[in-house]
Amino acid sequence: MNILLVHCRYRIAGGEDEVAAGDRRLLEKMGHTVHTLYRSNEELDGMGAIGRLRSTLGYVYSASAGKEYVKLIRERSIDAVWVHNTLWMIGGAIYEAAAECGVPVIQTVHNYRMLCPCGTMYRNGKICRECLYKGLHKAIMHRCYRGSGILSLVLTLAMMRQRRSGIYRDMRFVCLTDLQKKMLLEADIGIRDDRVYIKHNHCETPMRWIPYDERKNCFVYAGRLAENKGIRELLEAWRRLEKEVYINRPENCPQLVICGDGELADYVAGYIRKNELNYVNYVGKIQRDRLAGILSEARALIYPTKWLEGQPMAIVEAYSVGTPVIASDLGNAGAMVDEGRTGKHIAPDDMIGSLVDIIQSADVCSCYDETAMRKKAELYSTDSAVKAIEAILEGLPAKRQGVNRS
């Protein structure tokens, strides 16, 4: 099958970029021919004000981009278009181009952008469902996307155009979790239950599992350094551990290794310096194989997120090397942890205190059940992903006579 994989990379690489790349490798290993439509939001940095404005408005719809996509699909005899992310440089024209060519579309649902213009359903430090229950105009009122009324308006218009066009009726959707599927269907935006699939993120980094009693006295955070990831709370928890809990026995204080990049990178480095934290090591953005090595030696991954999440690759990677996860008891991250067997839950309403209690408790090691951990690793394995992809592709309709929906 000739598949066009569509993805717009973010300025700061994250889990979605990794999943898109992993899906491409799997599809090719399965014998499919994968063509790519890749763009990057870094392209915006080299544009002038007019160029950025044109690209931003083009996210809603661009006739010129639509013609290019139609040409690409027809010239390469594409059988299916598999979309990951279209924000900002690809836009909604790809869906209408595929419809015009009679080619089925698969959309991987990484976040909540089909329900919330911001994509996170998170505002002012808490989960927000106003767009879901009160209307998309709430995003414009609150300037949800990066505090910009204009950008929030553009994203809202794009969502409204796609919903009103009826393209969702013919698309297949790949959700990462049951929670995502439930929310999509409850939104009543024209998506059919029998066209929504579950395909978990997967990890391709097989490593030898280090016995838990041979691991270092360290914990790992891996992910974007952003406010909604709970990084501020994590740092404050470690300050309390180092400066209060273990003040008289510093040799027992566990190490925290922070891996990642993002808008709070300077804050993280500055906080460590200001508070003279000797047991926090900020290593920045690192390669996946190095991260796997660090995770394999750790007592647990800590994931103190404050939003619903998609399906964090950091958690998938931790399970792949047999490392338990300490995650917020919230949304998809919380659902990935079996309390007391594959990790522990952080109380979302007292994140700092909960983290301190978990880390210093004597039973933190008791959350390790190897049988349960092996089942988690299998759930997020390459073999499981291949089976899910096979089911998705088998359920696709054949190419049909193109329909011009412009």
**DSSP letters along 368-387, please?**
--HHHHHHHHHHTSHHHHHH
| CB-neighbour burial class of residue 266 (10 A; exposed 0-12, middle 13-18, buried 19+) | exposed
**pLDDT reading at 136 higher than 90:** yes
- The sheet that has 325-328: what strands, in order across it? 280-284, 255-259, 218-222, 300-303, 325-328, 343-346
Q: Judge: domain 2-203+384-394, CATH 3.40.50.2000.
A: yes
Cβ burial 298-310 (10 Å sphere, 16+ → b, else e) = bbbbbbbbbbbbb
User: Domain segments of the chain: what residues?
Assistant: 2-203+384-394, 212-379
Q: Encode pLDDT of 86-129 as tens digits.
A: 999 999 999 999 999 999 999 999 999 999 999 999 999 999 99
Q: What angle do CA 404, 405, 406 make, to 5 degrees?
A: 100
**pLDDT reading at 406 higher than 50:** no
Strands 280-284 and 255-259: parallel
- Binning pLDDT at 50, 70 and 90, where does residue 337 land? very high
Q: Encode pLDDT of 271-280 as tens digits.
A: 999 999 999 9
Structure tokens at 228: 């909604």
Do residues 87 and 113 make contact, with C-beta atoms less than 8 angstroms apart? Answer: yes
CA distance readout (Å), 281 to 234, 272, 278: 13, 8, 8
- CATH of range 212-379; options 3.40.50.720, 3.30.1370.60, 3.40.50.2000, 3.40.50.1000: 3.40.50.2000
Query: Cα–Cα distance between 389 and 255 in angstroms, integer?
Result: 39
Indicate the SS3 state at residue 174.
Answer: strand
Q: Do domains 2-203+384-394 and 212-379 have the same CATH topology?
A: yes
Do residues 174 and 392 make contact, with C-beta atoms less than 8 angstroms apart? Answer: yes
What is the distance, to the nearest Å, from the Cα of residue 240 to the centroid of all Cα atoms in its chain? 30
What is the structure's pLDDT at 124?
94
**String of DSSP letters for 244-257:** IITTT-GGGPPEEE
Rounded average pLDDT over 237-250: 97
Question: pLDDT > 70: what percent of the chain?
Answer: 97
What is the structure's pLDDT at 401?
67
